[in-house]
Amino acid sequence: MGGKPGLEENWREQAEALKREVQKLPKGREREEVLRKAQIKFDAPAVLRKWPSSNDEHLAGEIPDLVAEGTLGECIGLFTSKLMTQLPLYEIHTAPQGELITAVLSARQIIELAGLWGFV
pLDDT in tens, 84-102: 888 889 999 999 997 778 9
Q: Tell me the whole-structure pTM to 2 decimals.
A: 0.70
Domain ranges of the chain: 4-116
Banded pLDDT at 112 (limits 50, 70, 90): confident
Q: Rounded distance, CA 77 to CA 55, Å?
A: 26
3-state secondary structure of 94: strand
Q: What is the pLDDT of residues 28-81, one digit of tens each?
A: 677 666 666 667 888 899 999 999 988 777 788 889 999 999 999 999 999 999
